[in-house]
Chain A
Amino acid sequence: MNAPLPRQTARDAEACGGIDLHQEHGQRAVFCGLTGIVWLHRKIQDAFFLVVGSRTCAHLIQSAAGVMIFAEPRFATAIIDERDLAGIADANEELDRVVTRLIERRPDIKLLFLVGSCPSEVIKLDLSRAAQRLSGRLAPVRVLNYSGSGIETTFTQGEDACLAALVPELPRAPAEAAPSLLIVGALADVVEDQFLRIFSAMGIADVRFLPARRAGAMPAVGRGTRYLLAQPFLADTARALDERGAHRLAAPFPLGAEGTTGWLRAAADAFGVADETFAAATAAGRARAETALAPHREKLAGKRVFFFPDSQLEVPLARFLARELGAALVEVGTPYLHQGHLAAEIAWLPAGTRVTEGQSLDDQMDRCRAARPDLTVCGLGLANPLEAEGLSTKWSIELLFTPVQGYEQAGDLAELFARPLRRRALLEV
């Protein structure tokens, strides 16, 4: 329990570094950023997300949201029709009409996001001006905008765009304020609370989250703000925070016991937490994570895993599978590789791991078929077709909707990968 903590040293990084990086162009089987709405609207409980787009956008959200669409959801689509395109109706007037009607229907809404889509971007509908105009008209409701279009964003980048739109709106922390810790990226409430307790045990008291659970409670930011990214897909949000004087703490991502320890360690180091305090705050969690991981290690050790690109979580997940569960990595696809934010993760990947940034779908499927991996992590459009070809798959979207970060979820995360293999072994028909 009191064993020394693994610290990432320069020597370690050198020994494990040197991934085999490829870039690929072609057909991409990925979601657009609009999909982020499906989990973001649950996190910010008084926000509404209005997509300005086509029937396709509405259909996508409906397909991605599944049954959630019916529980008075806090998202909708303003569908552009031919009258808007032909200039018969003034698109801005139409938008104002739709938004006014919406706010009348939902007086509980405090923050409204106008979410740009491919059609709204291509016709150059200026949603940022619309947001400004509507903010004035609808005060105290705040109206912001960001793009979730497929031409600009891939899947989780929708969250990045949304949070980056929030950053300029955050209150300014007083210049003389003591350093505070900001955790960036939507996490499940239960995970946030676990992290809060650990930080508190370390003696870091002022910890806030972006996004906050309510629009009126967004964290302040300033020169004293140190922030930890909880998700690997937050490039623009990080840049916006930097512009406000905040400092990013370089860290691996809190997936698995090792990742969580490394992530917490970055905060501990920045806030001058003594080694003994850190060990005391994390020992129980680490031990529990070890206990929970052990049975999965038996099932996953030596298994060959192939990742199709989806969320940018692929590199940290691959690192977790390889180092904590003993899996072998065939190929790690990612839609976008932010080498700065992922430096610690890349250093931890086994030397020579093939990492593919971007996608050429048919070519990648050919490589996957030729490699016959034991487990393929991919989207729902590919999962059943690959299963039908005899390959075990783990559908990747679940990794975004399930609480997977932190010590207490390490076992659950391993279980997500182990379950398809266990199932394949169980079925006799």
Chain B
Amino acid sequence: MQLTLWTYEGPPHIGAMRVATAMTGLHYVLHAPQGDTYADLLFTMIERRDARPPVTYTTFRAQDLGRDTAELFKTSVAAAYARFRPQAMIVGASCTAELIQDDPGGLAKALDLPIPVIPLELPAYQKKENWGASETFYRLVRALAGAPAPRQPREPGRRPLCNLLGPTALGFRHRDDLIEIRRLLDALGIDVNVVAPLGASPADLGRLKDADFNVVLYPETARAAAEYLKKAFGQPFTQAIPLGVGGTRRFVTEVAGLAGVDPAPVLDGPGSRLPWYSRSVDSTYLTAKRVFVFGDATHALGIARVAAQELGFTVVGLGTYSREFAREIRAEAAEHGIEALITDDYLDVEAAIRAAAPELVLGTQMERHVAKRLGIPCAVISAPVHVQDFPARYAPQMGFEGANVLFDTLVHPLMMGLEEHLLGMFREDPEFHDGVGPSHLGGTARAASSEAAAEVAEPAAPSAPAPILLDEPVVITTAPWAPEAEKELRKIPFFVRGKARSNTEKFARERRLPLITLETLYDAKAHYGR
């Protein structure tokens, strides 16, 4: 048993849901107890999807265990087929159903549906979300890509054709990375055959073999499928990850090589603003800022390079929760002269951050909170992420526009150069001193002083004459608060307490009440309640 507060990854069936939800015309029947439908809200809330994920759960309960859960599963598959008429289905078990040992694959096969039904074996007590996504995509490709055949040479005159593999539902910036990469490929004169899983149907997976090569954007989800396609159809696939200017240039060169086209139109094109921004004198203060990088392997590795080579930071920590890619991360850490941190325990990550004492943390949602607690600037560069990192605006990580986004993302949490300069120059001034902290983290000092001001304004005498406006703290004639009422006010959540206080005082002033009592507080609440 492992004591866990926070998990970087969900169980493997969540990975399968990410693939199913990414695709069209595919339905997933998941043998799972009541309650496992919580996973729907990751897609409908965090990613703000406008439809339920295409998943039917058997939602069995204790009373079903005494009966026939296998029959329940078969009924659910039949009903899901009848209702949704998918082109193909995937079936499998969640962690609890794995224990009761019904055989989803065999049961579904017995129904003899007129569509491909692909069974998934996702060992929930050994593997995790990304592995589940990778395995699901691999099984789908294996089942639907058709019989292995040697690759046909490209007909003269036809533009090179590639597949884009890896983007899924609930993927960190997958939506916009895809737009950016399509733009690059188009500029190189390469056509895109199939993008999968995101937006692909089972029928589209049958056309994967028509491409000349594969572009693997996220190895965590797509490398296994790409390796299969290489073996079955002789399609080579890309290794370079287009993160940062250097990463994108390496990617363009590799893709152009696989396609047999000239990379110059893209390499000599306008590219990214990052190199100039990074060279501009305001960025000088970024030199050798100590940065700690943690995330999935792809992003941790790519962004550590951007930090060191394109922004001039010093990477003082590098790690991942993706054990499958530990080797690559260890090799990259060695380049920075440090030891990699391979863990899925956030307490280990927190300890490592404390020990490394970085000036900037680049990580997941979790590192954002650790950094907040430690008072260190932070930017999010990898899943798991919360709703704000599925933004409405265009915000790729990959390609040249992605590099622009990365420059802004990595630099904004730090004080801009001029600001830092002023802080040094006017160290003793009330507005600029060490106590105020970096600008984006401020608030503590300010909040305290406004709270103090409120305390000063409070003990005005009830019978005071009309207020006299002074330059210094404005005296407002407000009835004093009875201790009981004051105590009650403190029970109101802090974010609405200020409003409750001012409303009650206004209410008391208008009625010329000599004392704010509990009754006044609630009378005012009822009066102003919208």
Q: Which A residues are closer than 8 A to B by beta carbons?
A: 27-35, 52, 54-56, 58-60, 62-64, 66-67, 69-70, 73, 75-82, 84-85, 89, 91, 94-95, 97-98, 101-102, 118-119, 121-123, 149-152, 154, 189-190, 193, 197, 284-285, 288-289, 291-292, 295, 362, 379-385, 387-388, 408, 411-412, 415
In the complex the two chains form, is B491's CB within 8 Å of A193's CB? yes
For residue A94, which residues in chain B have a CB less than 8 angstroms away from its CB?
Answer: 1
A271 to chain B, nearest CB (A): 23
Q: B4 to A58, Cβ gap below 8 A?
A: yes
Candidate in B49, B100, B518, B529 with the most chain A CB atoms within 10 angstroms: B529
Q: Are B1 and A189 in contact (CB under 8 A)?
A: no
A171 CA / B95 CA spacing, docked (Å): 39
Q: Which residues of B contact A190 (CB under 8 A)?
A: 488, 491-492
Q: Check: B23 CB closer than 8 A to any chain A CB.
A: no
Nearest-Cβ distance from residue B352 to partner chain A, whole angstroms: 17
Q: How far is the CA of A295 from the CA of B64 in the complex (A)?
A: 47
**A408 and B522 form a contact (CB under 8 A):** yes
Given A55-B128, A122-B96: A292 and B1 within 8 A (CB)?
no
Asked whether any CB of chain A lies closer than 8 Å to the CB of B110, the reply is no
**Closest residue of B by beta carbon distance from A85:** B125
Residues of B within 8 A of A79 (CB): 1-4
Which residues of the other chain, A, contact B488 by a CB distance below 8 angstroms?
190, 193
A33 smallest CB distance to B (angstroms): 8
Which residue of chain B has its CB nearest to the CB of A66? B386
Q: Indicate whether A149 sits within 8 Å of B33 (C-beta atoms), given known contacts A119-B95, A193-B488.
A: yes
Say whether B440 faces chain A, with CB atoms less than 8 Å apart: no
A295: chain B residues at CB < 8 Å are 529-530
Q: B280 contacts the other chain (Cβ, under 8 Å)?
A: no
On whether the beta carbons of B525 and A408 are closer than 8 Å, the reply is: yes
Does the CB pair B95–A55 fall under 8 Å?
yes
> What are 23 A-B pairs at a CB distance below 8 A?
A29-B59, A30-B34, A30-B35, A32-B33, A32-B35, A56-B13, A56-B95, A56-B96, A60-B38, A64-B38, A73-B5, A78-B3, A79-B1, A81-B2, A85-B99, A118-B95, A150-B61, A154-B35, A380-B44, A384-B48, A387-B50, A408-B526, A411-B525
Cα–Cα distance between A245 and B493 once the two chains are bound (Å): 38
- CB distance A56 to B369 under 8 Å? no
Q: How far is the CA of A384 from the CA of B51 in the complex (A)?
A: 7
Q: Which residues of B contact A59 (CB under 8 A)?
A: 7, 10-11, 14, 39
| Complex CA–CA separation, A78 to B7 (angstroms) | 12
| Pair B62/A151 contact, Cβ less than 8 Å | yes
Q: Is the CB of B50 within 8 A of A81?
A: no
- B464 beta carbon closer than 8 Å to chain A: no
Q: How far is the CB of B29 from the nearest CB of chain A, in Å?
A: 10
Please measure, in the bound complex, the distance between the C-alpha atom of A33 and the C-alpha atom of B94, giving whole angstroms: 18
Do B125 and A151 have beta carbons less than 8 Å apart?
Answer: no
Q: Are A154 and B2 in contact (CB under 8 A)?
A: no
Interface centre among B9, B44, B51, B58 (most CB of A within 10 A): B44
- Docked CA distance A33–B128 (Å): 23
Given contact pairs A35-B38, A69-B5, A77-B5, a sample of 6 additional A-B residue pairs in the complex whose CB atoms are under 8 Å apart: A84-B1, A291-B529, A381-B44, A384-B49, A388-B51, A411-B526
Structural contact, B37 and A381, CB atoms closer than 8 A: yes
Say yes or no: A379 contacts B1, CB within 8 Å.
no
A119 to B45, CA, bound (A): 27
Distance A60 CA – B40 CA, assembled complex (angstroms): 11
**A73 to B: closest C-beta gap in Å:** 7
Q: Which residues of B contact A34 (CB under 8 A)?
A: 35
Report B-chain residues with C-beta under 8 Å of the C-beta of A385: 44, 49-52
Q: Which 7 A-B pairs have the closest CB atoms?
A: A32-B35, A150-B35, A381-B40, A388-B50, A288-B526, A411-B529, A118-B96
Q: Which of A31, A63, A291 contacts B526 (CB 8 A)?
A: A291
Q: Which residues of A contact B94 (CB under 8 A)?
A: 56
A56 B42 Cβ-Cβ under 8 A: no
> For A54, what are the chain B residues with a Cβ–Cβ distance below 8 Å?
11, 95-96, 124-125
B3: nearest chain-A partner, CB-CB = A98
Q: Does B126 contact A (CB under 8 A)?
A: yes
Within the complex, the shortest CB–CB distance from A142 to chain B, in Å, comes to 20
